[in-house]
Amino acid sequence: MRRRKFISMLGCAAVAWPFASSATEDADFVIDGVPLPADARLAFVLQSGTDVQRRFSGVWTGAWNGEIKHILLVERIDEDGAASIVYALGDDFHTGLRANWRRLDATVSGRTLTVKVPGGIAEYGIDDEGQLSAFFKGSGVARATMIKSDLASLLRPHAVVAWSRGTSELLETDLLEDGYPIGLEVVFFKPPGSGPFPLAVFHHGSVGSNATPGLIKQTWVSLEVADFLNKRGWLVAFPQRRGRGKSGGRYEEEQNSFGDLAKALAGADRALTDIGAANAALRRRQDVSPGPVLVGGQSRGGALSIACAGTDSEQILGVINFVGGWFSEKAPSAALVNQALLERGAHYDRSTIWLYGQGDKFYSLSHSRKNFAAFERAGGRGQFVEFNVPSDIGHNVIHYPDLWEGQIDDYLKSVRRGN
> CATH number for the domain including 53?
2.40.128
pLDDT for 287 beyond 90: yes
Q: Which of 253, 296, 298 has its CA nearest to residue 274?
A: 253
Longest dimension (CA), the chain: 75
Q: Output 322 or 265, whichever has higher pLDDT.
A: 322
**pLDDT the model gives residue 13:** 27
**Residue 104 in contact with residue 115, Cβ under 8 Å?**
yes
Q: Which domain holds residue 122?
A: 5-154
Q: Which of 125, 154, 183 is the last residue of a domain?
A: 154
Q: Kindly state whether residues 96 and 214 are assigned to the same domain.
A: no
Last residue of a domain, one of 154, 182, 211: 154
- Residue 160 belongs to some domain of the structure: no
What is the C-alpha to C-alpha distance for residues 60 and 126, in angstroms, rounded to an integer? 11
Confidence band of 304 (pLDDT split at 50, 70, 90): very high
Backbone phi, then psi, for 396, in 5-degree steps?
-110, 25
| Sequence-ordered list of residues with C-beta below 8 angstroms from that of 157, at least 6 positions apart, any chain | none
Report the alpha-carbon distance of residue 115 to residue 105 in Å, rounded: 7
171 is a domain residue: yes
179 falls in which pLDDT band (50, 70, 90)?
A: very high
Distances (CA, A) of 62 to 20, 66, 70: 18, 8, 5
Residue 19: its pLDDT value, please?
Answer: 39
Which band of pLDDT confidence, cut at 50, 70 and 90, is reported for residue 257?
Answer: low
Q: 100-115: per-residue pLDDT in tens?
A: 998 999 999 989 999 9
Main-chain dihedrals φ then ψ at residue 416, nearest 5 degrees = -70, -25
Q: Are residues 103 and 248 in the same domain?
A: no
* pLDDT reported for residue 2: 35
Does residue 332 sit in the same domain as residue 242?
yes
pTM of the full predicted structure?
0.84
Helix (H, G, I), strand (E, B) or coil at 203: strand
Structural domain count, the chain: 2
179 shares its domain with 148: no
Final residue belonging to a domain, choices 98, 133, 154:
154
Say if residue 186 is in the same domain as residue 268.
yes
Structure confidence by residue, pLDDT tens digits, 59-118: 999 999 888 999 999 888 887 888 889 999 998 887 778 999 989 999 999 899 999 887
Query: 333 with 294, same domain?
Result: yes
Residue 159 lies in a domain: no
Local structure of 9: helix, strand or coil: coil
Does 211 share its domain with 266? yes
